[in-house]
Structure 1
Amino acid sequence: MNQNNSVFKTLLEILIVSTRLGFTSFGGPVAHLGYFHEEYVRRRKWMDEKSYADLVALCQFLPGPASSQVGIGIGVMRAGVLGGITSFIGFTLPSVIVLIVFAIILQGLDVADAGWLHGLKIVAVAVVAHAILGMAQKLTPDLKRKAIALLALVGTLLWQTAYTQIAVILLAGFLGFLMFKQQADDKPSSLSFPISRRFAVICLTLFFGLLILLPVLNAATQASWIALFDSFYRSGSLVFGGGHVVLPLLEREFVPTGFLTEEQFLTGYGAAQAVPGPLFTFAAYIGAVINGWQGGLLATVAIFLPAFLLILGTLPFWHQLRSNSKVKGALMGVNAAVVGILIAAFYHPIWTSSILDAIDFAFAAILFSMLVFWKLPPWIIVLTGAIGGWLFI
């Protein structure tokens, strides 16, 4: 009985702390990692500096929302799989609820030509431009990786098919393997998690099984909820580099197929910048536009499920993965390609549908300066964008 009480208290503590972070963590994945470090390492001392750095390295290595995966990993270290689930719910649910409510309100209003919506689209220009600059400095520091990014940019723009991005990522991984396979090893990880290798293998099998099986089920049944689950699951499985990179995947899954318009898509993306928590919760908005609150919850589960399965499936094997220089080389190539893919998405659909005249460009420059040079919080940028669009555009 005492043990059950102890487990319950630990889970409740994780829920309270992660929910507070879910309400206050503005600024994207890099900022989230800073909030986590302050709360979990410095204040609560749930883990040491080295363990936290190793966990962040693992989550950067995997596709999916890195900050959410770090939060899940911390919960797992604290209280096993239930701790990971609890940590995820606390950090994610606040923004999911806000974006579902936003989508439902928009559905009931005739706001297609509203100036404030166009202002939110211009906010997306400033935010993604800032993300590209930061990622390019970090992920393409040399000419080889700049060349991979350029190839990814050209390929993604000129061959816009459902499988282009997968092909680009695979090719970039192969080029990275060839170019950087002699990459020096870092110090090995010292992480240990309460997860058996058998359970990890089950999670990895489920991850790849769903990736293969869902498209087959979708083609065989034509059920709308399976189609939605398949699209969101595939998007969550193939994103390297954080939330901004999911933008082109989701756009190609839902806009050309007519599930929602580009206006609705970019409006939701702008709104997602205004809420705290992971940017992947943008999926909740899309799901709610398509099929109400049920669609929002289904989309949230589907896009985050790969992140869960991957973090649980790789934790026990991280030591071997991290010490393999060839694996690291392939990852360096993939990360460089991510920059090119994001630049392609920045041009279309973000720039082409948002910057229509000189006023739009000038306003985007102001918002970009507020974000990058004056370092104002993202919610101020979003509020300024909405008010400016309403007043002047």
Structure 2
Amino acid sequence: MPIGGVGLWQIFLIFLRLGLTSFGGPVAHIGYFREEFVARRKWLSDARYADLVALCQFVPGPASSQVGMGIGMALGGLRGSLVAWLGFTMPSAIVLAALGMAFVGFDLGTVEGIIRGLKLVAVGVVLHALLGMARSLCPDVPRAILAVLAAAIMIASEAVMAQFGVILGGMLAGFLLLRDKVGADADPGPVRRSAKGAVAALCAFFVLLVLLPILAKLDPTGLFAVIDGFYRSGALVFGGGHVVLPLLQNAVVTPGWVDAETFLAGYGATQAVPGPIFTFAAYLGAALHTGSGGTGLWVSAITSLVTLIAIFLPAWLLVVGLLPFWDRVRHIPSMRAGLMGVNAAVVGLLAAVLYDPIWTGANLDIFDIGCVVLVFAILQWRIVPVWAVVGAGAVVGYLTGLL
């Protein structure tokens, strides 16, 4: 397992391809990552990957992007985390920034069939990842029961903190019920990383959280107010994905920087591009200073880059700050038992999201179900690469939409 031995260009190109083809939202992204790094290349074990997913579910920020940063850090250190983020984020960020600079809405009706085809592919990808993780992480009755209970609680509950409670409950159940199974889980030794760098990253996270509002009040240009709004949105959201929308709306619509119509148009466009939903910040940043002429475009481009970095910076600081300590404590036998429970709970979380909103929101008919089964079979037997499945899904969706 080439932990720390993968070239930066290789990491970048893999994540760039994922950034171009990973439709379906955060849970689907986690499925794409598992297919690429666990199932196909075997650079990470299912246990190590699930540990990373669990950490990113515990902390605020865009969970799937943080998982990608963590994978990059595991494979290529600090620079690996940066190139992983750049590759995964760049494609959708460029498209959305261009739309923001053009200051035009995006008519989803023109690509409705393509989006539906891509959603069906995402259902198949999540189903494939779920069953693969279930086989590896829930191999016995106690962990299977934990996964089922976690899924049931998430489906039944509408509380914002239900996800955090389920993961914490899984850890407590693991401490109590799974201590005798620790020896059966083979996992590589901890990756030693600098604790000084981790502490510096955590300190920077909290310092910026306190300092930026002060600078925003002192700065007459409004630049630090913009940075603070996006940084705070990225730092205080749990669950990532669509959960960040109310925070962003409060950050840019309430003060009058972007009108509600422009905000909603950008959100619609975000649904039509691959990659993380947080790249919506690139659209909003460009829309803040849209103007005609070369100077206006340059200002929009720079603002778009600033807001994009601001919303992702807290996520990166948390990954860099917490992953070294996580690598140390997760190998302690009692912690391993707790993490077995957490991993089972993560399987339950994926199952719950697969049911609602992915399954319930897709309104699947017999043809759609057949497409999902076909995607699952292709992934299960590795008939063609994932990117080819995504492309085929878009084409089939478009042709079906025409009919």
TM-score interval (norm. to shorter): 0.5 to 0.7
AA aligned opposite 1:131: A
- Asked if 2 retains the 8 angstrom alpha-carbon contact of 1:149 and 1:337, the reply is yes
Q: Where in structure 1 are there 5+ consecutive unaligned residues?
A: 1-12, 39-48, 77-83, 239-247, 273-281
Cα 1:30/1:301, change in 2 over 3 Å? farther
- 2:171 and 2:202 map into 1 onto residues whose CA distance is 20
Secondary structure at 1:160 match in 2: coil
Any idea what the Cα deviations from partners look like across 1:127-181, whole Å, max 9, x if unmatched?
A: 1111111111111111111111111111111112211111111111111111113
Identify which of 83, 90, 113 aligns with 1:90. 83
| Inter-CA distance 176–314: structure 2 relative to 1 (3 Å threshold) | closer
Query: Who is 1:368 aligned against?
Result: 376
SS in 1 for 2:175: helix
Q: Which amino acid counterpart does residue 377 of structure 1 have in structure 2?
A: P
Any idea what SS the aligned residue of 1:346 has?
helix
Q: Which residue of 2 aligns with 1:110?
A: 107
> By how many angstroms is 1:116 displaced?
0.9
Check 1:201–1:54 CA distance in 2 against 1; reply closer, same or farther (3 A cut).
farther
Give the structure 2 partner of residue 279 of structure 1: none
Residue matched to 1:3: none
Map Cα deviations across residues 326-370 of structure 1 (whole Å, 9 max, x no partner): 111111111111111111111222122223433322332333333
Matches of 1:359 and 1:35, distance apart in 2: 29
Distance 1:127 1:56 in 2: 16
1:124-139 equivalence runs, <5 A: 124-139=122-137
| 1:115-194 pair list within 5 angstroms | 115-185=113-183, 189=189, 191-193=191-193
CA distance in 1, matches of 2:203, 2:48: 22
How far apart are 1:183 and its partner, in Å? 4.0
Partner of 1:309: 321
**Aligned with residue 94 of structure 2, among 93, 101, 119:** 101
User: Residues 4-19 of structure 1: matches in 2 within 5 Å?
Assistant: 15-19=8-12
Matched, 1:328 2:336: yes
Match of 1:31 among 11, 16, 36: 36
- Matching of residue 251 in structure 1 with residue 242 in structure 2: yes
Question: CA separation of 1:151/1:252 partners in 2, compared to 1, >3 Å: closer, same or farther?
Answer: farther
Q: Distance in 1 between matches of 2:247 and 2:269?
A: 13
**Alpha-carbon distance between aligned partners in 1 of 2:169 and 2:187, rounded to the nearest angstrom:** 28
The answer to whether the aligner puts 1:300 opposite 2:312 as a matched pair is yes
Alignment counterpart, residue 357 of structure 2, candidates 334, 349, 353 = 349
Shift in Å, 1:257: 8.8
Aligned pairs (5 A) from 1:258-277: 267-268=272-273, 271-272=274-275
Q: Quick one: which of 288, 298, 311 aligns to 2:282? A: 288
> How far apart in 2 are the matches of 1:187 and 1:256?
39
- Secondary structure at the residue paired with 2:397? helix
Identity of aligned residues (%): 25
Report the TM-score, using the length of structure 2 for normalisation.
Answer: 0.66
Distance 1:358 1:20, change over 3 A: closer
Rate the CA distance shift 1:99–1:366 in 2: closer, same or farther, 3 A: same
2:83 and 2:272 mapped to 1: Cα distance?
25
RMSD: 4.1
- Counting only pairs closer than 5 Å after superposition, residues 194-273 of structure 1 correspond to structure 2 as 195=194, 197-203=195-201, 226=228, 228-233=230-235, 249-254=240-245, 267-268=272-273, 271-272=274-275
Q: Is the 8 A contact 1:148 1:337 kept in 2?
A: yes
- Alpha carbons of 1:199 and 1:307: their partners in 2 closer, same or farther (altered >3 Å)? closer
> For residue 111 of structure 1, what is the amino acid of its counterpart?
L
> Can you list the C-alpha shifts for 1:6-26, whole angstroms capped at 9, x where unaligned?
xxxxxxx96545434444678
Match of 2:108, SS state, is coil
| 1:21–1:35 CA contact under 8 A, matched in 2 | no
Which residue identity lines up with residue 385 of structure 2 in the other structure? P
- 1:32 and 1:157, CA in 2 relative to 1: closer, same or farther beyond 3 A? same
Aligned partners of 1:92, 1:351: CA distance in 2, in Å? 29
Q: Quick one: distance in 1 between partners of 2:332 and 2:244?
A: 34
Q: Does the residue aligned with 1:141 lie in a helix, a strand or coil?
A: coil
C-alpha contact 1:149 1:340 (8 A) present in aligned 2: yes
Amino acid at match of 1:288: A
Shift of 1:386: 1.0
Question: 86-95 or 225-234: which moved more?
Answer: 225-234
1:187 and 1:156, CA in 2 relative to 1: closer, same or farther beyond 3 A? Answer: closer
Change (3 A) 1:168 1:389: same
